[in-house]
Structure 1
Amino acid sequence: MLEIRPTCENCNVLLPNSSKDAMICTFECTFCKDCVDNILHNVCPNCGGGFTKRPSRPSELLEKYPVSTKVVYRPIDKEMFNELLQKYRDIDSRER
């Protein structure tokens, strides 16, 4: 089951369950759409994978299966990330 993390790992903007701006990679690294599009260019800084829209948990299941409250805030090191970005930016995420 997805954790549904509450914030962007890079900029710490709030990404509640209902957010249409929440993006995740296959390992559930969670970033806002703005960071994915304008800083990360669809390359996860943690695994090199691509991103997809994070689904939301149905409201009637939130009590039984609450979303995570654990904030994962690890702003990217732009210098270190640039190497990964150059390696994967022009390769489709399904072919990395």
Structure 2
Amino acid sequence: MALCQHLSALETLVPAADYSCPECVAQGDTWVHLRVCQSCGHVGCCDQSKNKHATKHFQATSHPVIISAEPGEQWAWCYQDQAMAEY
């Protein structure tokens, strides 16, 4: 199965600059896992987290691809095409 155009275009992965969800920190909330936007480096919490800031970031910006910021996880997700890739 071929990757979507957004996942295929990834050349260099943008790592998390900080291991926290700034929106959750500002709200005094916690998160389950973190995701990193590959368009701008925004770090947001996953959909298992109460606030789902990574998905909200996609909805606000249309930045299509995130990667997991979790140690040992090596995958990328394209919101627009609902596609996943391991790297």
Indicate whether the TM-score tops 0.5.
no
Q: TM-score, normalised by structure 1?
A: 0.36
Q: Highest Rg: 1 or 2?
A: 1
Structure that is richer in helix per residue: 1
Q: TM-score, normalised by structure 2?
A: 0.39
